[in-house]
Amino acid sequence: MKRRHMLSGLVLAVGAPRLGRADSVAVSVAPPPLTLLVAGPDGQQTSRWGDACALAMEGSFPGNPAINTMPVGGLDGVTGANRLDALVVPDGKTAAILPGAALIAFLAGDSRVHFDPTRWTPLLAGSNSGVLMLRAPAGKTPDLALLRTMAPVRIGADSPQSADLAALLGLARLGVAAAPVFGLRDTAAKTRAFIAGEVDAVFISGEGVPEDLAALSASGAAPAFSLGALGANGQVTADPLFPDLPDALAFGPGTAPFLDTAYQAAAAAARLDFLLVLPKLTDATSVALWRSAATTASAAPGLSAAADASAIALQPATVLASALAALNLQPNDQASLQTFLAKTYGWQPS
């Protein structure tokens, strides 16, 4: 959805007929527009959410300024996130919307990353579900014992630097060996590989999860564990789409503390379809204005309907703050994660 903004011009008010007096002129000047930096290409997923959020927030700021969207960079959001940290002045005039993929790049140690999401000021997020689907005997609920008998689990995945990282670390913390089949870029590719018998597990996340699970369920896949839902206090609760399914932490005990910490960080990133933030050091008055606008936007019928249609839950700043805090790994834990990815999967970030 591409919108054109019309700036208000001068309004001329002409008084009574001139009777030897000067004309009376009233001038009204529209405030300068605000900017929503979009970390992604124009017309793509994050851009569409950016347009929807900008439209839903308009009218919530003093003077009713327009909110112009500015798409920057590629789908993974790294270029846009770098722009946010390096070039955006924290004067309250510019916010940013980014995909959760940018956070995965940060965790995986992508050499292109020159931003720190743990220092951004949270406004609003769209969270999605994530669930590990497993080939299980008919009528049997997947449990840790079944996973261990299947090890190494053939799991279809995009790459370690993707939302699949949460599932890979979820298995690793349980001590379950995995044999990933990488290069399956999307849900359709994963589903085809599962139906063809090329993999025995897939992780499904993002938008439209309920619809994505239909073909897998019909082909004998059963849910093993979910990512759960993150609350404002940092506690993980049941995913509303899977209220009776344990999350990966409740599924079984961990085998190494750093894997638990790394999993929680990756899960926090994988749960985020998009995040709306302000740059670090933005003043408190501007933060309050943007948060109020974000709260108004989350209740707007258009944005709410779009979220519901995509199985996305709109989350307030407090929940997003918990997610960003989970990414704040100690340096030794982040180094251990990157060493683990290199040794286990031969992963070298770009």
Looking at residue 28, its pLDDT comes to 63
What are the tokens at 325? 């805090």
Instruction: Compute the Cα dihedral for 132, 137, 138, 142 and give only its sign.
Output: negative
pLDDT digits (tens, 9 = 90+) for 35-72: 999 999 999 999 999 999 999 999 999 999 999 999 99
Q: Which residues contact 310 (CB under 8 A, 6 or more apart)?
A: 207, 208, 273
CB atoms within 10 A of CB 235: 10
Residue 84's CB is within 10 A of a number of other CB atoms, namely 26
Please name the residue that has the structure tokens 């793509």: 44
The length of the chain in residues reads 350
- Which residues does 139 contact at the CB level (< 8 Å), separation at least 6? none
Distances (CA, A) of 189 to 157, 218, 228, 323: 9, 16, 24, 29
Residue 47 CB contacts under 8 Å (≥ 6 apart), including other chains: 38, 40, 41, 69, 71
At 139 the pLDDT is: 76
How far is it, in rounded angstroms, from Cα 163 to Cα 345? 15
350 residues of the chain, pLDDT tens digit each: 332 332 223 222 223 333 344 444 555 677 899 999 999 999 999 999 999 999 999 999 999 999 999 999 999 999 999 999 999 999 999 999 999 999 999 999 999 999 999 999 999 999 999 999 999 888 788 999 999 999 999 999 999 999 999 999 999 999 999 999 999 999 999 999 999 999 999 999 999 999 999 999 999 999 999 999 988 888 899 999 999 999 999 999 999 999 999 999 999 999 999 999 999 999 999 999 999 999 999 999 999 999 999 999 999 999 999 999 999 999 999 899 999 999 999 988 77
What pLDDT does 222 receive? Answer: 96
